[in-house]
Amino acid sequence: MERSLLVAGFGGQGVMLIGKNIGYTASKKDLNATFFPAYGAEMRGGTANCSVVVSDSKICSPVKQELDEIIVMNDLSYEKFAGRVKKGGALYINSSLIEAKYEGDDITTYYVPVADIARKVGNPLVANMVMLGAYVANHEDIDVESMKETIKENLHGKENLIDVNIKAFEEGINLMKGGTQ
């Protein structure tokens, strides 16, 4: 098993934290994982993306041209990366910011209103955790409780943000389990 993911958005949307959480959680399950960040000229407000590869065997390259899955958090990322999803793959779209609709029928597309849900849980800055929850909901091989522990570990020193991040993560899972796309 090998799964490649690209998470893309602008700096400040938490795309790196999504990737780190997935990679760290996979590592805890004795899987191989790579995390390869790429930043634009500015950290906050500039472009940002990361590639994550998870595998039960050796990973030959941390970066792939065609990906199994892509998460896009803004229009620019959608325009740049949506076409790189492999046939049969999945595209997760932040439908709170991206109005475009994917035209093909060769991949599964999920429209996730992450900002709307983040506001509902009380903090618009946790939209990334909503998206992470939506992603995890579609992957039975990712243990939800292990992911929650990873989220807590990655927020060490920011204990005041743990509860709202976990709540946002759970809301993303609930959205997908409810069948909303």
Better pLDDT: 105 or 133: 133
Tell me, what's the pLDDT at 180?
45
Q: Nearest 5 degrees, angle CA 78-CA 82-CA 88?
A: 150
Are 154 and 17 contacting, i.e. CB atoms less than 8 angstroms apart? yes
The residue type at 32: N
* CATH code, domain with 88: 3.40.920.10
Structural domain total, the chain: 1
* Residue the block writes with tokens 């522990």: 149
Q: Name the pTM for this structure.
A: 0.91
Domain that holds residue 83: 2-177
The tokens describing 108, both together, are 């599964």
How far is residue 28 from each of residues 16, 49, 74, 113, 145, measured CA to CA in Å?
18, 23, 30, 30, 12
pLDDT tens digits along 117-159? 999 999 999 999 999 999 999 998 899 999 999 999 999 889 8
